[in-house]
Chain A
Amino acid sequence: MRHFLNIGGLSSEEITHILDTAESFTSVDGQTVKKVPLLRGKTIVNLFFEPSTRTRTTFELAAKRLSADVLNINVATSATTKGESLLDTLFNLEAMNTDMFIVRHPESGAADFIAKYVSPHVSIINAGDGRHAHPTQAMLDMFTIRKYYKDFSNLRVAIVGDILHSRVARSQIKALNILGIKEVRVIAPRTLLPANVEQLGVSVFQNCKQGLQDVDVIIMLRLQKERMQGAFIPSEHEYFQLYGLTPERLVLAKPNAIVMHPGPINRGVEISSEVADGPQSVILHQVNFGIAVRMAILSIAISPNDNGVTNET
Chain B
Amino acid sequence: MKLEILNGHLVDPKNEIDQAADLFIADGKVVAIAKPPDDWQADQTIDASNRLVLPGLVELSASLREPGFEHKATIRSETAAAAAAGITSLACLPTTDPVVDTPAQVELIEQLSHDSGLCRVYVIGALTAGLRGESLSEMAALKAAGCVGVSNVLQPLKSSLVLRRAMEYASSQDLTIFTHPLDHQLAHNGCVHEGLTSSRLGLPGIPAAAETAAVAFQLALIEELNVRTHFCRLSTRRAVNMIARARYDKLPITADTSILHLYLTDQDIQGFDGLCHNLPPYRTREDREGLREGLQAGSLSAICADHQPHEIEAKLAPFQSTEPGSSTLETLLPLVLELVQQDLLTLSKAVRLVTQGPAEILDICAGNLCVGEHADVCIVDPELSWFLNSETMHSRGKNTPLLGDELKGCVTHTILGGKLIFENHLW
Contact = CB atoms under 8 A, between A and B. Distances in A.
Interface of A: 82-84, 86-87, 105, 107-110, 112-113, 117, 129-133, 167, 170, 194-197, 199-200, 313
B317 A83 contact: yes
A86 B316 CA distance: 9
Contacts of B195: 195-196
Contacts of B270: 313
B318 A86 contact: yes
A132 B201 contact: yes
A108 B202 contact: yes
Interface centre among B195, B202, B271, B313 (most CB of A within 10 A): B202
Contacts of B41: none
B196 interface: yes
Given A83-B322, A107-B321, A199-B199, 19 more contacts: A84-B313, A84-B316, A86-B318, A107-B320, A108-B201, A109-B203, A109-B272, A109-B319, A112-B271, A112-B272, A113-B272, A129-B318, A130-B202, A130-B203, A132-B203, A133-B202, A195-B199, A200-B200, A313-B271
Interface centre among B194, B201, B318 (most CB of A within 10 A): B318
B205 interface: yes
A203 B144 CA distance: 61
B178 to A, nearest CB: 29
Nearest to A132: B202
Contacts of B199: 194-197, 199-200
A141 to B, nearest CB: 17
A159 to B, nearest CB: 14
Nearest to B194: A195
B319 A108 contact: yes
Nearest to B207: A195
Nearest to A111: B318
B321 A82 contact: yes
B146 to A, nearest CB: 35
B202 A170 contact: yes
Contact of A194 (B198, B271, B316, B317): B198
A313 B195 CA distance: 18
Nearest to A313: B271
Contacts of A112: 271-272
Contacts of B196: 195-196, 199-200
A108 B316 contact: no
A167 B201 CA distance: 9
A83 B316 contact: yes
A130 B319 CA distance: 11
Nearest to A84: B313
A83 B318 contact: yes
Contacts of A107: 318-321
Contacts of B271: 112, 313
Contacts of A195: 194-196, 198-199, 205, 207
A166 to B, nearest CB: 9
Nearest to B269: A109
Contacts of A105: 318
Contacts, number: 78
A113 B320 CA distance: 11
A83 B313 contact: yes
16 contacts: A83-B322, A84-B317, A107-B318, A107-B319, A107-B321, A109-B318, A130-B202, A130-B203, A131-B203, A170-B200, A195-B194, A195-B205, A195-B207, A196-B195, A199-B196, A313-B271
Contacts of A110: 318
Nearest to A87: B316
A133 B199 CA distance: 11
Chain B at the A interface: mostly helix, strand, loop or mixed?
loop
Contacts of A167: 202
A110 B320 CA distance: 9
Contacts of A117: 316
B272 to A, nearest CB: 3
A200 B196 CA distance: 8
A130 B202 CA distance: 7
B316 to A, nearest CB: 6
A148 B155 CA distance: 55
Contacts of B201: 108-109, 132
A130 B205 CA distance: 13
Nearest to B319: A109
A83 B202 CA distance: 18
Contacts of A129: 202, 318
Interface string B238-273: 000000000000000000000000000000001110
A86 B322 CA distance: 12
Interface in B189-233: 194-196, 198-205, 207
Contacts of A132: 201-203
B266 to A, nearest CB: 11
Contacts of B207: 195
Contact of A108 (B194, B313, B320, B322): B320
A132 B322 CA distance: 17
Nearest to B270: A313
A-B complex: 5 closest residue pairs judged by Cβ atoms? A83-B317, A131-B202, A109-B272, A132-B202, A194-B199
A132 B316 CA distance: 19
Contacts of A86: 317-318
A108 B272 contact: yes
A170 to B, nearest CB: 6
A108 B195 CA distance: 16
Contacts of A199: 196, 199
Nearest to B193: A195
Interface centre among B196, B200, B205, B207 (most CB of A within 10 A): B200
A131 B204 CA distance: 9
A86 B313 CA distance: 12
A113 B318 contact: yes
A86 B202 CA distance: 20
Contacts of A200: 196, 199-200
Contacts of A108: 201-203, 272, 318-320
A131 B190 CA distance: 13
Contacts of B194: 195
A130 B270 CA distance: 16
Nearest to B203: A108
Nearest to A165: B202
Interface centre among A84, A194, A199 (most CB of B within 10 A): A194
Interface in B300-346: 313, 316-322
B277 to A, nearest CB: 11
Contacts of B198: 194-195
Interface centre among A87, A109, A194 (most CB of B within 10 A): A109
A110 B322 CA distance: 11
Contacts of A130: 202-203, 318, 320
Nearest to B272: A109
